[in-house]
Amino acid sequence: MKKITIQLFILLLVLLSCATDKNNLCNSENQRLETDPSISGMDVSHFQGDIKWNDIKKDNVNYVYIKASEGADFIDPKFKSNRAAAKSKCIYRGAYHFYQTSDDPKIQVQNFISAVGQLEPGDLPPVLDLEKLGINAPITIKEYQENTLLWLQMVEKKLGVSPIIYTNLFFGIKYLDHPDFSKYKLWIAEYTKEKPKLPETWKNKGWTFWQRTDLKKLEGIKGKVDYDIFNGDAEAFRKLLKQ
């Protein structure tokens, strides 16, 4: 009995040590928001393969958006492991859904929620990826706007947080000119060294995230990856996070 008690005590010390190390790591990551010259991130999917998350932190990556789902029935095979790995390394993380016009928006919401579940502390708001490749079935602009706004409204109701819209300048100009889209923060894809140009819908509100390139080289990832920056300081970034 005495031997078992000693073994349990040692196990408890190991667990407490691991928890302390994790807390120190997360506190360190939190402090980086204050000291890094910019709050930078990346977005990934199964196309990046196996990511070496220990190396990712060496390249000043503060956050990552991870593809969760696409259309009505595709769940990214790397989403679960990427999300867990990012969390274990105390990298702030969010999930995005790639929208397809061929599928019912309500079923696409179900697919996204089934992949993501409930948000956890340290999670960024969900993102709806709206771009030309997603128009894989005929649809009018009016129908597209109604369907994507429905997706946004349903996800906000289910997760309790307002989603973010990802798009590029030309797609946003053509398809996202409905004023209701301005209720949602913008993640703009604009590959330029200058400040990004914005669709008219967000001219007065500005951008929240900016995907500056899809050709970034980072430690821990084979090939090139999308690279992003956040428009704001540490306090503004923390306000986006699930508490």
At 133-152, the pLDDT tens digits run 999 999 999 999 999 999 99
Average pLDDT over residues 40-46: 97
23/135 same-domain check: no
Residue 131, number of CB atoms within 10 A of its CB = 16
14/108 same-domain check: no
Q: What are phi and psi of 139, to 5 degrees?
A: -160, 145
Q: Which domain holds residue 96?
A: 39-240
Nearest Cα neighbor of 185 from 161, 209, 169 is 209
Token look-up 């005929």 returns 138
Token look-up 């929620």 returns 113
pLDDT confidence of residue 5:
57
- CA 195 to chain centroid: 21
88/140 same-domain check: yes
Residue 6 has pLDDT above 90, yes or no: no
19/79 same-domain check: no
Whether the Cβ atoms of residue 184 and residue 156 lie closer than 8 Å to each other: no
Nearest Cα neighbor of 125 from 150, 96, 100, 98 is 96
130/16 same-domain check: no
168/224 same-domain check: yes
126/230 same-domain check: yes
The model's pLDDT over 212-238, given as tens digits with 9 standing for 90+, comes to 999 999 989 999 999 999 999 999 999
Average pLDDT over residues 197-205: 97
Judged by DSSP in three states, 98 sits in strand
3-state helix, strand, coil in the chain (%, to 5): 45, 20, 35
169 exposed, middle or buried (CB, 10 Å; 0-12, 13-18, 19+)? middle
Residue 25 has pLDDT above 70, yes or no: no
129/190 same-domain check: yes
Rounded Cα distance between 3 and 220, Å, is 43
Average pLDDT over residues 86-109: 96
Dihedral, 53, 59, 60, 62 alpha carbons, nearest 10: -30
Mean pLDDT of the chain: 90
44/31 same-domain check: no
pLDDT confidence of residue 58:
76
83/187 same-domain check: yes
115/157 same-domain check: yes
Residue 51, number of CB atoms within 10 A of its CB = 22
Cα-based distances in Å from 202 to 5, 80, 162, 179 = 63, 32, 16, 9
Whether the Cβ atoms of residue 85 and residue 53 lie closer than 8 Å to each other: yes
CATH code where residue 114 lies: 3.20.20.80
- What is the model's pTM? 0.89
163/130 same-domain check: yes
State percent of the chain over pLDDT 90: 77
The model's pLDDT over 45-62, given as tens digits with 9 standing for 90+, comes to 999 999 999 898 778 899
Number of separate domains in the chain: 2
